[in-house]
A and B are shown apart, each in its own frame.
Chain A
């Protein structure tokens, strides 16, 4: 809502220093303040600042007389009555009357109090890129080479704003109306034109020269106020901001970019607008460094079998794998995998081959993976639970000649031979005890190929070299204290790269790996029992799976570390965990990751504080990994601005198997390190502190009826409801060919209340076009084999949410009531708007009653309106009364 502008936002001020008091005696209208310290004293500075921050109704003149004889004349005036030129003349000692247009009275002096106060335009909402906080709002000052003119600054502001938010047409406020700047090809062609709408940014421009030091506003009249002026220090730009819209760091960098863009407009107007880079070289370096980890990676590239051999040699008797009651020592795993590797060699597997592994989640599977690596080959995990055509696709795409499997009917793929572990052991029988022949495997060779289902097309194989796996462990081992006392779960399908972390994270740090059978992983209470019985210390989970564990009593679970991966995590869901497991007992770490960058990319330790604050941060890059956020043209984006997450460093995979073109598109040169970086297709923003916010897939943005919608945003609004445990949001079309039938369906797991209440609450937050049409309560959300949400298995939605069904009869009555309410209340009214929320009171109620009578409509008693304060309810009550009367 608009309202009167805050007095401080209406005023500007100037301060002029002199060696001695210009006034031997106080003239009328001048307040003289003796400051009992020299002008340089901090207390004197505080006094100056206080006077320069104190708004005036009209004009105030204060002379600060310091103990050293010097003086400051401080003039504070309302901008609409004394503009900069007038303020300058006043400061020079002239007597200037307030501008006539702004004041109603003709009498001098206190006219301001009767002048109509300028109204603030409707404030724009806080922009996402502003990373609003509760920090101090500090003004930022910049010296300018050239002041330009108002039009050049409006153009510069429009370019800078568009780069921060390409979706929104910039509306820029000034002290004489709002403007926009239509898009143009070159900077020189950008011309402002008047516009309407809420202004996030405003420009206060005036070339009048002022003596002394000028303060263009005592408080920002626009959430982000840029003032260009000329005072004793020459041309300057000052940026004032509201921290609730734009934090002080973001405001400072915004102003720097603005100055740069403005200089380009003046010096090279022929530059194409699209070519403008907000960031200069120094700023690009700063932002690049921001995406780097806080500590360096110390790693020695070796192969996975070499690293395993070291552990096995050091602790051959320690248990490496637990499966039910059975256990395998490191020595046994080493020996068995060597025998299997012999068998693979005997089957013709040679270095550089890819070998499929399609086994149930068992100790045998781990031994087989190691055996493939020992044979010098690359393992390609295939989940036996996958549909046959997907298994066949993988076997064909990866060019598998050998697949180790116990599936009785492995799909028939030309050139691909299924072989069971027993057959391999038989083949290797006579070679038992002999060492494996050396392989040409290096740390740069591919260790595994894991297939990821992209949003488009068929799954593609990501080739990850040995050194990446070693780097991942070297990046985390010390920080998380992994060691021989740790017990890890292996919860995830080998075809999901979270298992790479679980298996090798454990076995290459000497821990004990507990196999979680598939059915245990799907039953939270049995899984809980396993965690307790095996005294698991390190638990890796997708948030969806962890949510199910939270639903059972987890008091006795004594893990010391939980690592989240695979899905976005809403930190609020962890509160019930923190209730029972204080941060000091168990560390909770969210790791954002991508298969193409070796499981994890960032780390964020979560605390109760962060969970309460619903932090969306996924933290900083792991040592050795680094991050950029870029625009579609590949330019680095300013911190705060959302763009594509790009990941460089030690985790970048070799590429997509057999897909040179796609690999070249997604694995591109890293402009800062000379290496390769991966363009993830994920949306994120870098915070000014270097932490990343992950905002979902770029392609999860959908359009409904022309509105751009971020499904993750809807989901997080649903999750803010304390009764909602987990939530999923999907878009469906009743008629797939007709975009107009698109509809948002929400699914929620609820603690107590009914789904209608969830939708009602969301309706208070989300704009209409983002409000789910249906909210369906489920006991649990269906998960894929990887433990992620399985949207394909979501049931058909409950009937579309209607508060109380459609309005019974008389639509004409509804229409008339809406017209009457709107007229009386002076604002648009919807059928479910609450009379009192709209500002209704008894007077309005009486007027509505009168209007109803005047139109010959059924009379409405005041009490009825209070009882049914919406139009829908009123109509129902009126029709019911009528029906009763007629019967």
Chain B
């Protein structure tokens, strides 16, 4: 097992990529600390993860043999993040891997000058600053132990632009930048920081993801049409499955990638090639 005995923290773990990642880590022998806001956010036009969904992810992980700690925590709240990290360190002795997965795709769907101050701030606060807060809380102990892996789930929106998604694109580009800067900060202490950039991921029923549907809604196009557009835009002519992204995260979390830091691993079916 590639993550045997490792303690892994995943944010946004109630569903979607977070759930798929947690499950993949559990299958590789990791123990898990699962964070999710488990509440809706004013300003986000779609429902976020729920306590029931987080408990379900936890149950699936336990079935795979993992010890699981759950925490309802909003990554916009530094104290909440710190508390969850402290509990995880008490329970598991340490955190070996942190996966910054939590993020929102909307409010979006309008030109940049139509975004209001609150919408802009919300997007940056969750998608960029949330990742920074987790790194801030886990990085010190990882550095002290001279081992650790941080994986930031960015997006192809961290590499190219998308029309009418300025906030999201800006935040995800910044996540890529944060990844590179943090990687340099921690390189002397052997703590690695990498980013994964998924393309368009299927809203899988088991994972209960809904990002693709919400992006389609923000763009005011039918989901099947949006899917078709992206299948055509990704040279391998398929949507990405949540497990494909989880596999990349597991690789970057594991010691197999011990010389890889500051890298950006795309899981986009070739979307960003051209």
Contacts and interface: CB of A to CB of B under 8 A. Distances in A.
A57 B5 contact: no
A54 interface: yes
A36 B59 contact: yes
Contacts of B140: none
Contacts of A36: 59, 62-63
Contacts of A7: 93
Contacts of A35: 62
Nearest to A42: B65
Nearest to B1: A46
A50 B67 contact: yes
B31 interface: yes
Contact of A56 (B31, B62, B63, B93): B93
Contacts of B63: 36
B93 A54 contact: yes
Interface string B88-123: 001111000000000000000000000000000000
A35 B63 CA distance: 7
A31 B65 contact: no
A43 B65 contact: yes
Interface in B53-103: 59, 62-63, 65, 67-69, 90-93
Contacts of B90: 60
Given A36-B59, A36-B62, A36-B63, A50 B5 contact: yes
A60 B68 CA distance: 15
Contact of B65 (A34, A46, A53, A56): A46
A33 B65 contact: no
A36 B64 CA distance: 9
B65 A51 contact: no
B71 to A, nearest CB: 13
B225 to A, nearest CB: 41
Given A34-B62, A36-B59, A47 B67 contact: yes
Contacts of B62: 33-36
A13 to B, nearest CB: 12
A33 B61 CA distance: 12
Contacts of B31: 50
- Size bracket of the A interface: 10 to 19
B59 A51 contact: no
Contacts of A524: none
Interface string A4-38: 00010000000000000000000000010111100
A60 to B, nearest CB: 8
A386 to B, nearest CB: 61
Nearest to B7: A54
Contacts of A43: 65
A664 to B, nearest CB: 59
A223 interface: no
Interface string A53-76: 111110010000000000000000
Interface in B138-182: none
A497 B92 CA distance: 66
Contacts of A57: 93
B93 A53 contact: no
A35 B67 CA distance: 8
A33 B5 contact: no
Nearest to A29: B90
Contacts of A50: 5, 31, 67
Given A43-B65, A54-B93, 18 more contacts: A7-B93, A31-B69, A31-B91, A33-B62, A33-B67, A34-B62, A35-B62, A36-B59, A36-B62, A36-B63, A46-B65, A47-B65, A47-B67, A50-B67, A51-B67, A53-B5, A55-B93, A60-B90
23 contacts: A31-B69, A31-B91, A33-B62, A33-B67, A33-B68, A34-B62, A35-B62, A36-B59, A36-B63, A46-B65, A47-B65, A50-B5, A50-B67, A51-B67, A53-B5, A54-B5, A54-B92, A54-B93, A55-B93, A56-B93, A57-B93, A60-B90, A60-B91
Interface of B: 5, 31, 59, 62-63, 65, 67-69, 90-93
